[in-house]
Amino acid sequence: ANVAINEQPSLRLFILHLNNQRAPLNDVHIRRAINYAFDYDSFINDILAGTAERNPAPMPKPMWGYPTGLQGYNYDLDKAKHELSLAGVKIYRPFEIHSLVGADQSDQAATLLQSGLQQIGIATRIIPETWPTLSGKARQMETTPDIWTNWISTIYADPNNWVGEMYNSRYWGNWKTGSWYKNPKVDALLDEAYVSTDQTKRERNYQEACRQVVDDAASVFIYNSKWFGLFSKRLQGYRFTPVANGEDFRWISLA
């Protein structure tokens, strides 16, 4: 009774990378089908017990430049099957989903996606791997898995930390670009935003880039994590710092 729970949205994203350059994932309709085959609500509300917030974009919700009003993809197997019918290629092999050893959420997400894909006729194999192995494989297009799970946290508080370093092809070869996405329009938007000093232009560019990345189904965007802090009710004035999920204790006082 003497403890208060401080719940705050963080800047940490959880996504499933899709290797955009490997057939048949180089077909946008295949990638959209995969996005529609993931049960977001069950994952967030049942498996994670509501400790995360649905986020359909490659940008944390609290960050400026977030694409307001973006709907993204929902769990809809009929839409997934429709996207498969539009694909210009057939799925001729099982997809490999690589999860992260020691991270239960990663395994659970892989299993949930496997279930959804099975229901639309796509076979998969789940392969658990360590982070050093996965991040090493992601440095080359040829060795990057078909699908793999990843968290993207805050290195610095600017939209470029997420959509910029994840989906600008100039950064290919870094684990953040593990979806190997390339769209010249998005590259141009992100390059312009990176060097501009016009905040309005930067925000507009990042929003437009996010919308295009989602339309292209570059990855499966799942959630924005939440942060929970337990504090005595006697403490007042504490402020959550989303960078590194910390607290600024300069403002705290004891009542």
Burial of residue 129 (number of CB atoms within 10 Å: 0-12, 13-18, 19+): middle
pLDDT tier at 234 (50, 70, 90 boundaries)? Answer: confident
Of 6-15, 64-73, 102-111, least confident by mean pLDDT is 6-15
* Residue 193: closest CA among 218, 153, 162: 162
Half-sphere exposure of 59 (CA within 13 A, CB side): 28
- Closest listed residue to residue 179, CA positions, set 12, 34, 9: 34
pLDDT at 12 over 70: yes
One-letter amino acid identity for 180?
Answer: W
Q: Which amino acid is at 228?
A: F
CA distances from 192 to 99, 110, 159, 189, 202 (A): 35, 36, 13, 5, 8
Q: Quote the CA–CA distance of 87 and 34 in Å, as a whole number.
A: 12
- Tell me if 149 sits within 8 A of 16, measured CB to CB: yes
Q: Is the pLDDT of residue 253 over 70?
A: yes
Mean pLDDT of 78-82: 98
What six digits make up the tokens of 51? 């400790």
Does 255 score more than 80 pLDDT? no
Q: What is the three-class DSSP state of 96?
A: strand
Q: What is the pLDDT of residues 166-214, one digit of tens each?
A: 999 999 999 999 999 999 999 999 999 999 999 999 999 999 999 999 9
Would you state the pLDDT for residue 247?
Answer: 62
Q: Distance (Å, rounded) from C-alpha 190 to C-alpha 209?
A: 7
Place of tokens 């085959």: 37
| CA gap 186, 212 in Å, rounded | 7
Tell me: pLDDT of 244 over 80: no
pLDDT, one tens digit per residue, over 118-159 is: 999 999 999 999 999 999 999 999 999 999 999 998 888 899
Taking all residues of the chain, what is their mean pLDDT, rounded to a whole number?
93
% residues pLDDT > 90 (the chain): 80
Tell me if the pTM is above 0.95.
Answer: no
